[in-house]
Amino acid sequence: KYSICIVGGASRYTPDMLTMLCNQKDRFPLRKIVLYDNEEERQNLMGKYTEVLFKDYYPEVEEIVYTTDAKEAFSDIDFALMQIRAGRLEMRESDEKIAMKHGCLGQETCGPGGFAYGMRSVPAVVDIIKEIRKYSPDSWILNYSNPAAIVAEATKRIFKDDHKIINICDMPIAIMDMYANVLGKTRKDFEPRYFGLNHFGWFTNIYDAKTGHDYLPELREILKEPVEFKTEALFEEPSWKSTFNFMSQMIRDYDEYLPNTYLQYYLYPNKMYKKSDPDYTRANEVMDGNEKITYEHLEKVVELGRIKGSEYDVDPDAGCHAEYIVDLATALANNTKEIFLIITENKGSIENLDRNMMVEIPCRVGVHGVEPLTVGEVPTFYKGMIENQYAYEKLTVDAYMEGSYQKAMKALVLNRAVINTDVARALLDDYIVANKGYWPEL
Ligand code: G6P
């Protein structure tokens, strides 16, 4: 039985994660769960909610802890699941709106917003990992804090030999869920092949896990036109609608592979800009919608003191894409050698790209961690795109580590959503003011 800590435990993503843990108890049995956060009020609410939920659905868990104390949180854990958002949604709003003020697309991980968020997220993630390592040097750290590409580049450099830090993103999973939805299958029917960087990659094959049949050509045909997704509530969410905005156009415009939907921000930056409202960005949508609803819901459950059979009941059997985290933990614990798309050091897997690049590629996962599969060479267009974007990511981490304004500006100039030096400077100057107390001094 395992002991896990959810780092960023007060997040609006935690309730889904908790339901999924209840759902997966046979496969991944817990003895202890810890919620760690620096937001005491929300943390207490989430902790009390966990107690109610687990009383009804997971009484086997012996210990439920919610704390803002690192020692209490990280001693005696097998897995840390990291999902922090440095500066919360308020700073996401600032990232997105400053970008739009300067005529660039406003998005949390892509374009200049992702840069600003990266400079905030890296110090926060690094500090927490240091704390985790102080109290549990041997635990697996499954990190999916955003912007994952930049965070992964920083963790690689700062925790050089720590192969137990694994960086993973839910987006390829969500996209595969969408493919499964379109084909009337489940994600687990697939074995993907993929290359690129985080939020910047391409599926090259979607193999059937049993027969080896490649679904990619038929998926390309279907997805060339906007599709109506079947039932899944997931796809009703506005974020998902915008996530899939230009997917069909990307597929029509580029004649190979299936793109990660986030590429639309770089391939059609002007269109993405025009589709957004500079006064009401995704951060506002989330604050007024999903986030508000989630915490109201938690309060009601805590007030009632029970959940099973009530109007607030969860469906512990419902499919949930957060399940991939348990899949990953199970693979590490039980040496299943399943394939996951992981953000990891290239080390020759993509032959014509830098060996030290943090790429997102298929890896087998077992007790010894991740083992990348061979990808081979990638064609010129993709190589160029990836190298440019990775240079931007590297310079962002350099700027953070050296406190360098020049490097920060160069990073922004390399970002395909910025390019112009005057714009880069203006963005940087505004972000420096907005991020006081979060960023290192530049
Ligand atoms: C997907 C991405 C995440 C991102 C999230 C944003 O899951 O992979 O990287 O954080 O979408 O969702 P939101 O609802 O906050 O816009």
**pLDDT at residue 230 above 70?**
no
**Which residue has its alpha carbon closest to ligand 1 atom 8?**
171
Q: Give me the pLDDT at residue 247, please.
A: 87
Is residue 406 within 6 Å of ligand 1 at its C-beta?
no
pLDDT at 238 over 90: no
Quick check: helix, strand or coil at residue 242? helix
* pLDDT digit string, tens, across residues 400-411: 999 999 999 999
Question: Do 140 and 167 touch, CB atoms closer than 8 A?
Answer: no
Q: Decide if 57 contacts 313 (C-beta within 8 A).
A: no
> How many A from CA of 62 to the centre of ligand 1?
32
User: For 230-322, where are the alpha helices, taking DSSP H only?
Assistant: 238-243, 247-253, 264-267, 269-275, 282-286, 292-304
CA nearest 341: which of 229, 186, 199?
A: 199
User: Average pLDDT, stretch 177-206?
Assistant: 94
171 Cβ inside 6 Å of ligand 1: yes
| pLDDT, mean of residues 223-235 | 63
* Separation of CA 245 and ligand 1 centre (Å): 15
pLDDT band at 110 (very low <50, low <70, confident <90, very high): very high
Average pLDDT over the chain, rounded to an integer? 94
Q: Rounded mean pLDDT of 357-383?
A: 97
Confidence at 243, pLDDT banded by 50, 70, 90: low
Give the mean model confidence (pLDDT) for residues 177-189: 90
- Write out pLDDT tens, residues 112-127: 999 999 999 999 999 9
pLDDT at 181 over 90: no
353 in ligand 1 pocket by Cβ < 6 Å? Answer: no
State the closest ligand 1 atom to the C-alpha of 147, by its place in the atom list counted from 1: 9
Euclidean distance between CA atoms 112 and 106, whole angstroms: 7
pLDDT of the residue at 277: 94
What number is the average pLDDT over the span 246-271?
93
Which of 170, 214, 354, 429 does the annotation list as catalytic?
Answer: 170
For this structure, is 189 an active site residue? no
pLDDT of 228 reads: 64
Ligand 1: centre distance to CA 298 (Å) = 21
Query: Of the residues 239, 284, 343, which should be mutated to test ligand 1's pocket, given the most ligand atoms within 8 Å of the CB?
Result: 239
Give the total residue count for the chain. Answer: 442
Question: What ligand 1 atom has the least distance to the C-alpha of 170?
Answer: 8
pLDDT band at 288 (very low <50, low <70, confident <90, very high): very high
Which of 170, 235, 282, 288 to probe ligand 1 with, by most ligand atoms within 8 A of CB? 170
- Which pLDDT does position 204 carry in this prediction? 98
Could you tell me if the CB of 331 is within 6 A of ligand 1? no
| Planar angle of CA 51, 318, 188, nearest 5 degrees | 120
Least confident of 83-87, 229-233, 321-325: 229-233
pLDDT above 70: residue 270: yes
- Banded model confidence at residue 234, pLDDT cuts 50, 70, 90: very low
Question: Separation of 343 CA from ligand 1 center, angstroms?
Answer: 16
Question: For the sheet containing 63-67, what is the strand order?
Answer: 63-67, 30-36, 2-7, 79-82, 140-143, 165-167, 338-345, 358-366, 369-372
Average pLDDT over residues 343-352: 98
Atom of ligand 1 nearest to the CA of 109: 9
> Which one of the listed residues 57, 262, 266, 392 is annotated catalytic?
262
Instruction: Report the pLDDT value the prediction gives residue 318, as an integer from 0 to 100.
Output: 67
- pLDDT 10s digits, 328-338: 999 999 999 99
Question: What distance in angstroms lies between residue 146's CA and the mean position of ligand 1's atoms?
Answer: 9
pLDDT score for 239: 53
Note the pLDDT of residue 231: 45
For ligand 1, whether the C-beta of 282 sits within 6 Å is yes
428-433 contacts: CB < 8 A, separation 24 or more?
A: 430/98, 430/101, 430/102, 431/95, 431/98, 431/112, 431/115, 431/116, 431/119
Q: Quick one: pLDDT at residue 242?
A: 62
Q: Could you give the CA distance from residue 272 to residue 264 in angstroms, rounded to a whole number? A: 8
Percent of the chain past pLDDT 90, that is, above it, reads: 87
How high is the pLDDT of residue 81? Answer: 97
170 classed as catalytic = yes
Residue 354 zone, left/alpha/beta (φ > 0; ψ -120 to 50; rest):
beta
Report pLDDT digits (tens) over 70-108: 999 999 999 999 999 999 999 999 999 999 999 999 999
Counting ligand 1 atoms within 8 A of each CB, the residue from 13, 96, 146, 173 with the most, and so the one to mutate, is: 146
Please identify, by atom number, the ligand 1 atom nearest to the C-alpha of residue 146: 9
| Sign, CA torsion 323/327/329/330 | positive
Cα 434 to ligand 1 centroid, rounded to whole Å: 22
Helices (H), 111-170: 111-135, 148-158
Task: Answer whether 94's CB lies under 8 Å from 278's CB.
Answer: no
